[in-house]
Amino acid sequence: MFRKEDINLLYVYMMVAREGSFTRAAAKLGQAQSGVSRSVSELESRLGIKLLARSTRNVTMTPAGEQLFQSLETGFGNLENGVEIITQLREEPRGTVRINASRQAIEFLLLPKLITLRNDYPGIEVEFIENNTFVDIVKERYDAGVRYGNTVDDGMISVRIGPNVQMAVVASPDFLQRYGQPSHPSKLVDFPCIGYRLSDGSSWPWEFNDGDRYIKHKPQGGWQFNDASTIIQAATLGCGLAYEAEDLMQEELRTGKLVKIFEQYCITFSGFHLYFPDRKVSNALRIIIEILKVR
C-alpha cells in the first residue's frame, strides 16, 4: 500500500533520474549522497522493481524507471504549478497581456469569457491583436496566441479553451438552383467558391476527408474576403459556395438562408487553444488561462 512517506522517496528518485547522478541530486536536495542512495534503494524495494542501473561512471534509468520518471515529472510539475498559483494569488495580479487571435476567437470566445477581468482583476489589461494567420508570438512579442489545436506548433504549450469546430460547405438555395450542387469536393473547381484571404496574403485552402485521403481545394478566380462573417453574408447573397465553421452559421442554417452540402466530407478541427512558449508565465496570464481553459 502506498504511504504518504513514499512521496519523499519518489521526489528524491525523480531528482536523481533528472540529474543522472546521485552526487548532483544530493547537492540540489541539500542531503548527503549516502542518504539519497538509501532513499532510492528503499523505493526500489518498496516497488519490487529496479529503477536505476548504476555504474562507477553514471546512472541510467531502466524502462520501468523511465516510465515512473515521466509520471513523476508531470505530477510534481502540476503540484509546483498549483503552489505557485496560490502564492501569486496573495498579491493582486497586474500587467498587460497581449494576445494574438482571429476575429472569430476574439468575438465569440475571448471577449465573452474575459469581460469579468474588468471587475475582478482591474490591474490586468488585455490587448487583443486580430490576425488570421499563425504568427511567431515570441518574435512579435505576444504573451499568447489563440488558434485551432491542430495548428499550434509542437514547441508551444497549449491549453484548450473551446470545443471542437465542425466545418461545413454552404450555399444559398438560389445559388444551388442556378449552379447545381457539386457531387464531390473534387468537383469544386467547376463552381464559384468564396475564398478566405489570410493576413499574409495567401488564400486558405479548404480541406476534406475522403475516407483514407485528404482533399484540398484552394478557391481561385472568385471573390475573396478576410473575415468569416463577411464570407457568410456573401454566401447568403448567392456569391458562391463557402466553407466556414458551422457554429458561426446557426441562424442562417436554421432560417434556410444557407444549405449544407456533402457533410460527410467536411472535417472537424480541434477547438481553439491558447498557446504560449513557457510554463513560467506572468501572474496576469495565469489568471487568464484559468478563466479560459475548458474543464
At residue 56, the pLDDT reads 66
CATH 3.40.190.290 domain extents, the chain: 165-269
175 vs 258: CA distance, rounded Å:
10
Q: What is the mean pLDDT of residues 131-145?
A: 87
CATH class of 95-163+271-292: alpha beta
**Residue 169, beta-bridge partner list:** 243, 261
Average pLDDT of the chain is 88
E-strand spans in the chain?
A: 52-54, 59-61, 95-101, 124-130, 144-148, 157-160, 165-171, 195-196, 206-210, 213-217, 224-225, 242-245, 259-261, 268-269, 272-276
CATH number of 165-269: 3.40.190.290
Interval 175-191: pLDDT, tens: 999 999 999 999 999 99
pTM: predicted TM-score of the whole model, two decimal places: 0.63
At residue 200, the pLDDT reads 78
CATH 3.40.190.10 domain extents, the chain: 95-163+271-292
Decide: 145 and 93 in contact? Cβ < 8 Å. Answer: no
Q: Which percentage of the chain shows pLDDT scores above 90? A: 44
Residue recorded with cell 494574438: 100
At residue 179, the pLDDT reads 93
Pairing outcome for strands 224-225 and 157-160: unpaired
CATH 1.10.10.10 domain extents, the chain: 6-88
> Of 3-12, 205-214, 262-271, which gets the smallest average pLDDT?
3-12
Fold of the CATH domain 6-88: Arc Repressor Mutant, subunit A (1.10.10)
